[in-house]
Structures are given as structure tokens and as C-alpha cells.
Structure 1
Amino acid sequence: MVDMSNLWNMQGMMFLMVLTGMIFSKIGVITKEGRSCLTKLTINLFIPCNMVAAFLNADHSMLFQMAEIMLISFVIQIAQYILSKILFRKMDPRERAVMRYSTMVSNAGFLGNPMIQGMYGESGLVLASVFLVPVRLFYWTVGLACYVPVKNKKDVVRQALTHPCIISLFIGLFLMLVPLPLPAFLTKTINSFSTAMTPATMLLIGAILGDVDLKTIVNKTTLYMSFLRLVVIPAAVFAVMLFLPVEPLMAAVTVVLIAMPVATTTAILAERYDGDSELATKVIVLSTILSLITIPVWSMIVEHCF
């Protein structure tokens, strides 16, 4: 399983990358336009290449595990959706949209992949990529519906299925199942872009943090959501995983991914669809900072128990 000394080294590396992103944002090296460009590159190029690269080295014996972890992920997403419907009914609609979305969608798509790859290697990354399929589907459907009513469900589903990360998953699965020899220049290109994922995502998170006055982020609402996202939900998933007959790697990947902080897209959608973007940004920042402590703690817990 995970090497704890390697985990702490990786946390330190990621912290410095995030700090670099914050500094570059403060001094104007990473502008809002540059952040938008970095976001598009990360979603459309770096993460997809990282996923395909993982599948190129995947073991065929993992197919059953992949199907199993996708089912687990779907169940977790449904449970989080129900929880979000129950908890925030009395809140102001603009705040409720942010809180519901934050409950359903974590930052696993950005932060989860590099974290899992660093802790559990390529096998862990393959499982993480599959786990994130339902997460991304929920992001484009019920997640989006938190901010704006979905009028055409077919268009929303089509948009989800044509997302670059979902397409890269299908490509990766095909290349794993059908042993087609790829040209060396193509695999080297994919692997090169793949290695850019971690620094790009950490710089992006740092740039987002750099836009916020850290003195204003701590309040009752942001603490409540951070506690829910980083402690309560992972604890519930961990308790269930203890009783399921699953492989230790699958259990560890599931718990660590579900323990990720609030998704950066929470603020992007709030800004676009007249949600409480200020609250969304503060929730993202506080949960991300606190996750630097909680993620290693959950990693140690799953290492000890699975």
C-alpha cells in the first residue's frame, strides 16, 4: 500500500506548488485570463492524457475491480444527492445552490488523480479514473441543476458523455482491452502531457486561493461545509467500506477520493448562474487548506485498516 514517508513528501511538494500558484496570482503572473487558459488546458489535455497513460500500463485483471468501483461511486453520488436535498432546505436559494453542489461534487477530478497516483501508483490511478466517471456525470446533470433548472435532459447527458475526461476514459479502456501497438512518438507525447497534470492542477488551485482574503474565509457556514465534506462524508463511506468484501486498494482509493475538498467548479458555476460566488470561493479555500491535514489523516487510517 502507500508509503507514508512518500505521502508526506508529496504533500510538501503539492503545498509548495499551491503556494507558488498563490504567489504568482498575487503578483500578476497568473492573471484571470491565464487562469482560465490553465483550467481549459488541465481539463481538456493534461488530465485526459494522464488517464490514457494510466490505462496503457493497466493490468487486465483489474476489469472486475473497475466495474465494482464504478458501481460504488454511483451509489455514493446518489447518497450525496439525497443528503444535499435534506440538509439545506431552509437556506437562501443562492446559498443553498452552493451548499448542495459542494456536498455532491468534490475536487477529486483535479486534486484526486495526482494524489492517488502518488500514493498508489498506476493501478490506483486507473481505479480513480473509473471512480470519477459517475462524479463527472453528476457534475453535468444534477450538479448543474443546483444552479439552473435543466430543461433538456438529453442535451445535458450528451454534454456529459462528450466531456474530454469521459472520452479519454473510453479511449483508455479500448487501448487496454485491444492491444494495439501505438507508435513510440504517440505514447511519449501522451506520457509527457500526463506528467504536466500535477503541477498544472496545483498551480491552478493556488491561483484560486490567491484571489481570496484568507482572513474572511472562516465562518459558521464554511466550517460546517468543510466538516461535512472532509470528515462526515468520508467517515460514512469508510464505515461502509469496512463491511464490503472489496480489495484494500479499492477501499483506499474510494475513501481518499471522497475525502477531497470542495470542487473549484463550485465557484465557477456560482459566478455564471448567479449563485453566491463569494460563499463558494470561501468554502473552496477553507476546505482545500484543511484538506492538507485531513487527507494524510484519512490515508493513514485506510493504511491501518485495509
Structure 2
Amino acid sequence: MLIDLIQLEFIMVLLVAAGIYLRRRSVITDEGRDCLSDLLTMLILPCNIFLSFEGNTDTSALKSSLLTVIISVLVMLCTAILGKVIYRHREERKAKVFRYGLVNSNALFIGLPIIQSLLGDAGVLQLSMYMIFVRMFCWSYGLSLYTGVKSDWKGSFKRLLTHPCMIAAALGVAAMVTGIRLPAFLDRTLQYVSSCLMALSMLLIGVVLSEIKLKEVFRGDVWRFTALRLGVMPGIVFGLCKLCGVPYIVTATCTLVSGMPAASLTAVLAARYHGDSELGALLVAVSTILSAVTIPLWFMILQ
């Protein structure tokens, strides 16, 4: 498990380094950065979101793993409230980045292979169930943090509902519940597009990080966020699960997933919707690197 995690960390670091190099060589310009963020949010992410629902779970699995779903709902709601309280005095441009980073973890690229390695197929099933509400929550509340649903709430709400990622999430839920599958050629087309997500999102993070001074990595607010994301949140989940006598496989899955680093979308969406993209990139980079230490520690505690 540790070797797989280290390998994954190296892959992500190399992709980020490639983004830094391409930006400093002016291969990726300011216009290219905007184009890259648009491509991710308008095409690649919707394909990935739809496929993440399709074939992952069904209604019978939902009934058998209801406890995991309930825990995921409670975690998401509590995390949203926690973000509102902790960052209520921060500048809005920065606060929404912190809040989104708390809500959305990197359960796809880092969480899935780790859960598979540590907990096997039973853990993957629980992860799939956990992510049902998480996906819907991140593409409703999470997206609204960046797009806003305040002053012109009717127009903002309409834009949120018609966003490609929201449409993809709705279609994905429908496909999951009904069991309808796309034609093979169309499904493979979506898979080819979706497979670009990790590489391009890490490149974009590298582009953003290329404009940040090294001393910024040691910012106190970034490290406090990382402690909250990797230590406090999984600690609360673990403690409550043990207190309530939750079965081991559910406790382990929920604890590990809630202790994953900030999702790369934290920086991608910040770049797309004029948030503090530099802060988003820092949150992703620092929390991802430190997760190589905290995730094995949490598994030892779970054992």
C-alpha cells in the first residue's frame, strides 16, 4: 500500500513539475491557462462525473450499505457548517477556496487505489456508496461556493442547474438508478475524455504554482487547513464511528476517505471562477504531500 501511495505521489509531482516548466517556458500562456481550466470544467469533468456514477452502484447496494450513505451525509453537512464558521471572517475570494477544499477530498485518484489495496472489494463497495451523496453535494453546494447563489439568486441558481457538471451528475444518478447503459462506442468516448482529468488538472496546478514564491508553501493558514483536512476531520469520524459501534469496514472506509487531501478541483474551479487559484494550488499540493504520512498513520490506528 505504501509503495503504491508513494508511486502515485511521484506521478502527481512529475505532472505538477511539467506544468511549472511549461508555464515558465511560456508554452502555456495566460490564455492557455484559462483555456485549460475551461476544458476541464466544461468537458472533461462532466465526462468523469457521469462515468463515476455509471455502473458503480445500484439500488440493492444502496440498501445494504445505508449506514455508509448516512455517515457521508452527516460528514458533508458538518463539513459545510465547519467551513462556514471557521472561515467566516476571511476574504470571500479566499474563504470559498478553503470551504471547497474541506468539502471535497481526492477520493478518486488517491482514495480509490488506497481503499482497494487496504480493504479490498468490500471497501471499494463502501467507498462507492459513500461517494453517492458526496458527488451530488460537491456539484451542488460545492459548485455554488464558486459560482455564487446570492444577489441574483434566481439567475445564479439557473446557471448552477444548467452547468455541465450538474447535468452530468443528474444524468449519472439516473443511469445508476435505472440501470440504463450508454452504447459501447459512446461509453468509450467518455472514458477516453475522462482519462485526461488527472494529467490536465495536475498540469493546471503546476501552472498556478509556477507563479507562487517558495515561502508561500509555509503559510500558517495553509498548514492549519491541512491539519484540519488530514487530522481533525478523520479523527472526528473515527471517534464517532467507534463510539456508535459502527462495523469495521464502514468505519475504516469513512475514516480514510474523510482524511484524504484536498481535491485537485479546489484549484481548478478557483482558476475557472476567479477565486484565489494560488491558494487552491497550495492547499492541494501541501495536503497531498503530507497525506503520504497521515494516511498510513490512520490505517495503523484503525488496525
TM-score strictly above 0.5: yes
Aligned ranges 1:96-135 → 2 under 5 Å: 96-98=91-93, 100-106=95-101, 111-120=106-115, 123=125, 124=127, 127-128=130-131, 130-135=133-138
The alignment partner of 1:264 has SS state of: helix
Q: Would the aligned equivalents of 1:44 and 1:165 in 2 still touch at CA under 8 Å?
A: yes
For residue 48 of structure 1, what is the aligned residue in structure 2? 46
For structure 2, the 5+ residue unaligned runs are 117-123
One-letter identity of the residue aligned with 1:188 = R
CA distance in 2, matches of 1:149, 1:170: 19
One-letter identity of the residue aligned with 2:25 = I
Aligned ranges 1:19-168 → 2 under 5 Å: 19-60=17-58, 61-64=60-63, 71-88=70-87, 91=89, 95-98=90-93, 100-106=95-101, 111-120=106-115, 123=125, 124=127, 127-128=130-131, 130-141=133-144, 143-144=145-146, 150-168=150-168
For residue 300 of structure 1, what is the aligned residue in structure 2? 296
Relative to structure 1, is the Cα distance of residues 298 and 131 closer, same or farther in structure 2, using a 3 angstrom cutoff? farther
Aligned ranges 1:105-254 → 2 under 5 Å: 105-106=100-101, 111-120=106-115, 123=125, 124=127, 127-128=130-131, 130-141=133-144, 143-144=145-146, 150-180=150-180, 182-243=182-243, 245=246, 248=249, 251-252=252-253
Deviates more, 1:79-88 or 1:183-192: 79-88
CA distance in 2, matches of 1:247, 1:257: 15
CA distance in 2, matches of 1:254, 1:168: 28
The counterpart of 1:4, out of the listed 2, 5, 25, is 2
TM-score by length of 2: 0.77
Q: Would the aligned equivalents of 1:56 and 1:176 in 2 still touch at CA under 8 Å?
A: yes
TM-score by length of 1: 0.76
CA distance in 1, matches of 2:105, 2:30: 18
The alignment partner of 1:105 has SS state of: helix
Residue identity over aligned pairs, in percent, reads 23
CA distance in 1, matches of 2:297, 2:105: 23
CA distance in 2, matches of 1:256, 1:199: 22
Relative to structure 1, is the Cα distance of residues 259 and 56 closer, same or farther in structure 2, using a 3 angstrom cutoff? closer
CA distance in 1, matches of 2:261, 2:98: 11
Q: Would the aligned equivalents of 1:84 and 1:103 in 2 still touch at CA under 8 Å?
A: yes
Give the number of equivalent residue pairs.
290
Q: Would the aligned equivalents of 1:73 and 1:134 in 2 still touch at CA under 8 Å?
A: no
CA distance in 2, matches of 1:253, 1:164: 28
Q: For 1:271-295, what per-residue CA distance to the aligned partner results, in whole angstroms no more than 9, with x for missing partners? A: 46xxxx4xx62x4344333223332
For residue 15 of structure 2, what is the aligned residue in structure 1? 17
One-letter identity of the residue aligned with 1:299 = I
Relative to structure 1, is the Cα distance of residues 221 and 174 closer, same or farther in structure 2, using a 3 angstrom cutoff? closer
RMSD, matched Cα: 3.5
For residue 120 of structure 2, what is the aligned residue in structure 1? none
CA distance in 1, matches of 2:299, 2:255: 13
Q: Would the aligned equivalents of 2:103 and 2:142 in 1 still touch at CA under 8 Å?
A: no
The alignment partner of 2:218 has SS state of: coil
CA distance in 1, matches of 2:196, 2:142: 24
Deviates more, 1:193-202 or 1:163-172: 163-172
